Structure formats: C-alpha cells, structure tokens
Amino acid sequence: RAWARLAAAPIRAGLRAAMGALGARFIFAPSIEAALRRAQRAAAPHRRYSFDMLGEAAFTAADAERYRGAYERAIRAVGAAIAHGGDADSYGVSIKLSALHPRYVFSQRERVMGELLPRLQALARLACHLRVPLTLDAEEAERLELSLDLLAALLADPQLRDWPALGLAVQAYQKRALAVLDYLLALARSRGCPLRVRLVKGAYWDSEIKLTQLDGLVDFPVYTRRAYTDVAYLACAQRLLSSAGWLVPQFATHNARTLADVLALADGFDGFETRGNHPGAEFQRLHGMGEPLYRCLAQRRERTAVRVYAPVGDAGALLPYLMRRLLENGASSSFVHRASHLAAAALAADPRRSAVRQAGNPHPRIARPAELFAPERRNSAGRDLSDPLQWSELMAALARSRTAPIEVRPLVASVGEMMRAAAAAVSRSAGRPIRNPADQDELIGRVYEADAPLTEQALQAAARFAPDWADSPVAMRAALLEHGADLFQREDAALVARIVREAGRTVADAVAEVREAIDALRYYAAQSRAHFDEDTRSLGPVVCISPWNFPLAIFTGQLAAALAAGNVVLAKPAEQTPASAALAVQLLHAAGVPDAALQLLPGSGGQIGMALVADARVKGVVFTGSTATARRIARVLASREPVPLIAETGGQNAMIVDSTALPEQVVCAALRSAFNSAGQRCSSLRVLCLQREIAPVILPMLEGAMRELCIGDPARLATDVGPLIDEAARQRIEAYLARRSTQVRCRTPLPP
C-alpha cells in the first residue's frame, strides 16, 4: 500500500498542476475582491464584467446559504467599487437560481416561491440600492417556468419596479425562446421599465437531449441541428433589437459569423447606441474564450461594449464548470471546434442557407423519444411533470378515481355452470377492503378473492385453451400485446391514479412504472417476432406471481413474456395491490387477449399461489418476491416432473464510489436509488461504499440532501417519499432500526 501511494504521488502532482493551469485559464479570480482588482487593472474603454460565483446547484440548505452569502458579498463588493467612482454599467453580478435553493424544481414550486423568492428579493433589493446590475442565469428547460415565475415576482416588487438593471439569460436553442422574449417584452412594458436580456446559444444541450429521451416526452425542447440554433439566435436578436428599448440586448457568443450577423442587424436598428440613461446593446464572452475575436471587433468598432462573463471561485469548484465548457466547445458542431480545422469560407457560411436546405427536418442521427428503439418497437410516452397542464391531467384522473369504490373480482374464463356457481359463491363472500397506504381511513374498494372451486375452474379453462393459444400465429399474439400497450398508453393517467392510491407510489414513480409496463408489452411482442416461429414449443399453463412494490410493471412484464411465448397465464397479484393488476388485465382483455389466455386470481395468505404451483396442470412458474417464498415454490415443484421456475428475489444493492466521482452526482444517484418507491424494491440502494478520502465531503452533503426530501401523500407533486405499503412493513423497519441503534456504525474513525 505504501508503494502504491508512492507510485501515485507523481500522477496526483501532475493532475493538480494540470487542474491549476486549467483553473488559471477559465477562472477569473479566486475571490470577488481579487476579481475586482484584476478587472480594474485590465480597465479598457467599453469593457465590462459580469461576475459569476462558481458552483453548481445547491443540494443542502447549507449549500444554499453559502451561495447566498457569496452573492451578497459580491454585490456589496461591486457596489463599493461603483460607489468609489466606477461606472455602474462596468460591473455586474450573475446569479444561478438553483444555487439559492436545494430543491429548485417545479415539483417544489410552493417551497421555492416561499423560501427562495425572499432570498432573491433581498439580493435584488441590495443590488438595486447599490446600483449593481443583476442577471438571472439560464437553467435547464424543465426549470424555465419556475425561473419566469420568480422573475415576474421580482418585477412586481414595488422596490424594484423602476430598476432598469435587472436581467435574465435566454437560451436560443430552446424552441420556446421567441415566446419567452415576447413574454419578457410584455413584462417590461407592464412595469414601464426596461429589462436586460442576455441571449446565449445554450449550455445544456447534451443533457436536454438525453433527459427528453429518457423521460419519453413528445419532442425535444431544443433544436437538434446547430444551424437551427444559429438561425433562432438571429431571430431572437432581431426581436430584441426591435423592442423599442424595452428589452436591452446582451449578445453572448464566440461565433464570428453570429457576431457579424448581429452587427448587421444592429446597424439597421442602431442597437448599440446609448439612449439617455439606458445603455445600448452589448456583446458578452466567457473569460478565457473568444479573445482574438473580440480583439478584432475592438479594432474595427471601438465603441462597441463587450462584457466578460468572469467566473469567480477556487479550483475546487472548477471541475463541473470546466466539463460544461469542454462539452460545449469540444462538440464537433461548435464554432470553437470548427475554427481549429475549417477554412474561413466554411466558418463564414450563412446558417440560414443551411437551415433552408435542411427544411426544418430534425437531425437524422438523433432519435426522437418515441423512436429511441426503432425499428424494433416504439418507446413508451412519458409525462412532463414540469408542465402544469400535464400535471392537471393526472390530478383530474386521481379525482375521478375517488368518485366510486373499486370492486376487484377474479377474472376467470367460463367453462359452464360449475364456474358460474363458483363465481356466485365468491360474490356472496365478504370482500376484503383495499385501503390507501397513505391514508388508512380512505377505502379504495374491495377485493373478492378466488377460492378453491374458482381456482379449479381457472385451471380447467387454462388447460383446455392452452393448445389453441400455443397454435395461434406468433404475429397475432404480438399484435394483441402491442394493442394492449396502446390501450395502456391511452389510459396511462387512470393507471397512474390507481398505482398512487393503492400502492402508495409517488406520481413520478407511478408514471415511470406505467411506462415500464408499456415497454414490456412492446418488448416481448418484438422479441417473439424476432425469435419465435410457428414450430416453437410452448409450455402450457404458466402461473405468474407478482409483488406489490411494482404492482403494474412486474405484473405486466411476467404475463407479457408468457403470453408472447404462447403460454396461457394464471396471474396471481400481490394481496396488497389487486386493483392495479385487475385494471391491467381488463385492458389486455379489451385489446383482444382471450379470457382463457389470461386469468386473474386475487388472493391473500399464499394459499392460492401455492395451490396453483402444486397443480400438475401448471407447466411453468414466474415469481418475483422474497427468497424464502421462492425456496418454498422450488421445493413444491421439485416434488413432481421438472417444471421451469423463473424467480427474481431480494438482494443487497450496493453502490461503490471512488474519488473520481463528482460528489453532486453521487448524492443525486444515491438519493434516487435509495428513496424512490420509499426504498421498497430489491434494486433500492442498501449499502453505500465510499473511498475514505471522499467520505468527509460526501456524507454531510448526502445527509443535508436527505433532510430536503419531502415525505407525505404520494398524490401531491411535491412528495418525494411516499408511505410504506402496510403496517407489517412499518413494524419490520422499526425493528431493524431498533437493532441498528445498538450496533457500532463505523469501527474505524474517518479522517478529519
């Protein structure tokens, strides 16, 4: 170990030196005081600065307070420099809103408006009093509405109504950019005071594309071709320059062609001329980038103002910022990258001509969300939970689900008078209540469980129909599953509502689960087409026993695989979640899956499941649940002829983190894995293993982020962690906590 440390020392020293060089290149100064001194030394006509306190989004309340303090110190320092003879337009401060609150997301809008807005107002009022220009930086697309809400609240503040130095960054690569500018123009006119707008191309393109694909949204919020973004930038520039002074443009670009086009537009509008006390347009560049371009501009247009976006902070905050810059400028389509190897003529090509040639078509190599798995299958469509309209649709579905109690009955194929008599006997029995785990006083409905006679009838129906289903064309079975997926998609809001109320899953988790069920139906349909033919042998009747923690996704995945392979299914859902399973079966029957090919047998206590497993007519078992139950099933099956058993059981999911990981990403991933579905699934994070050197950094961040989680009613958008499934689960967890409280958590003390 000592030799390993010795061998690693030169590597670490080299990395530190490299990071130091990068820091000197991309960080303007380590502190706001040093930044002001450097700016004053580099003073030049028409050069301005906007200081940005380096750092990513806050994860904890302590993070948010640290960033707030940094912004306040920066505003006071810049204000003092202005008071000592500096030009009020020479310096400004940029604020990242997500740094001021650990939960800056739409789902936490109530908290954000109640907690972040007062902090932002205090900073804005201070900046107004000290005559310091203040710009709200751009965030990801899903936060746009929240940013606009905060800006509107600031503009409505009587103390800020006549302040012309407040601004917002607008990203031209967002398809909503022009609409945002129209909204800002209306805000400026209504308050009777200009508003500054920093127009940028955009810095989160990769993540916007990937997240949209991951969430299965209708389309990307950003353009997929660089030419479209360049043209959109010019359209936004024209809108800004023609706003009659209500919107003060700040054009942030390192693209020589874009700069030339903006200058051509501005000459027609006299956009760079100062009018009275209101400044004209200006250009902006990032510190460490674009210097040759703007030196050339200064030689040709001495009076054109250029503002340097100057990051301020120590090297510890450099890495995330640096990675964004490298991704942005290292992309093959970026001007900075292309300028290193293309001729001047190619760099000067008009993006409008390119956009016309491409006729508005998206980039062919960037799959739209619905086409992510094409041509094999269509991707499931998700829900944008940052969209108030989509959220209201889900809330309406939840409201409708409460209008009438749900009755869950066995869905068994008819085989004559005996079955009708058995069904009548079940109907006369007292139904077991189904209650909302988030509110035990809320009765969702009742489940009428299958008894032994009805189970026998189901087995008879399955055995009789199994040869017909096995002989059915593979293409027909696949088409029925795909039709079922389409019905699931059409009724996704109803499925979400049922999962939320019966299983206690949050709305976000329920949306993801419905998508997983839809994907399972389409996946197994595609797999059957690819791998089965008319000679493929089926097993016969297959029992599918599913858990409550994925009441729709695992339930559907099990039966979809069995049906696609030509097996008839006897589905036994978890006793806690029969209503979600019943709705799934009803939709598949509506899609054309025969009643005898898919039967539902709700039950509790394990009697129905074990009776099915023990029956000689059952030719296969698919089970997801506890290891102990899987062993019982295996012992029962071992007592007769070999029967395939597919069992997915519990385990210990561990995350191993070394020092190369970004702490913010570690915390985000750990929270998602550990607390989605209230940690009630086998894939939930159980053990977090941290390299000793990084533990003192990550553990406080993780603890602080955990404190920000919202525990409550899963039907509320703000809820991150819903309830445990039932009283038995609560008792098991409390017993575990009691045992752990008496044990030593860490035998070796961590380094200070």
Q: Which residues are catalytic?
A: 648, 682
Structure-block tokens of residue 158: 């009587």
SS (H, E, C) 58-116: CCCHHHHHHHHHHHHHHHHHHHHHHHCCCCCCCEEEEECHHHCCCCCCHHHHHHHHHHH
Please provide residue 36's backbone torsions phi and psi, each rounded to the nearest 5 degrees: -65, -40
- β-strand 439-447 against 406-408: which pairing, if any? parallel
Instruction: Note whether 609 and 603 are within 8 A (CB).
Output: yes
Residue 421 token pair: 């008599």
Give me the sheet containing 439-447, strands edge to edge.
406-408, 439-447, 432-436
**Residue showing tokens 């022009």:** 178
Contact 456, 612 (CB under 8 A): no
Phi and psi for 432 in degrees, rounded to 5? -80, 135
Buried b (16+ CB within 10 A) or exposed e, 139-178: bbbbbbebbbebbeebbebeebeebbbbbbbbbbbbeebb
CA dihedral 383, 384, 388, 392 (to 10 degrees): 10
CA-to-CA dists, residue 150 to 92, 120, 240, 275, angstroms: 20, 8, 21, 29
Buried/exposed code over 343-381 (b: 16+ C-beta within 10 A; e: otherwise): eeeeeeeebeeebeeeeeeeeeeebbbbeeeeeebbbbb
| H/E run at residue 230 | helix 226-241
Determine the straight-line distance between the first and last CA of the chain, rounded to whole angstroms: 21
Please answer whether residues 385 and 106 qualify as being in contact, where contact means their C-beta atoms are separated by less than 8 angstroms. Answer: yes
Token pair for 314 = 């120590």
DSSP assignment string, 677-738: GGG-STTSEEEEEE-TTTHHHHHHHHHHHHHT--BS-TTSTT-SB---SSHHHHHHHHHHHH
Amino acid sitting at position 288: G
State the number of CA atoms in the 13 A half-sphere of 367 facing the CB.
15
User: Would strands 91-95 and 47-53 be described as parallel, antiparallel, or unpaired?
Assistant: parallel
Sheet holding 620-625, edge to edge: 598-600, 568-572, 541-545, 620-625, 645-649
Residue 161, token pair as written in the block: 């109504």
As given in the structure block, the two tokens for residue 446 are 């009742």
* Inter-CA distances, 353 with 230, 357, 358, Å: 11, 6, 9
CA 312, 314, 319: angle at the middle one, nearest 5? 95
Helix (H) or strand (E) holding 624: strand 620-625
In angstroms, the CA 469 to CA 480 distance is 12
Residues whose CB is less than 8 angstroms from the CB of residue 95 and which lie 6 or more positions away in sequence, other chains included = 71, 120, 123, 134, 135, 136, 137
Return d(Cα 138, Cα 200) in angstroms, integer.
9
Q: Residue 634 region, left (φ>0) first, then alpha (ψ -120 to 50), else beta?
A: alpha
SS3 of residue 271 by DSSP: coil
Which phi and psi angles does 750 have, rounded to 5°?
A: -75, 155
**664, 667, 669, 675 alpha-carbon torsion, rounded to 10°:** -150
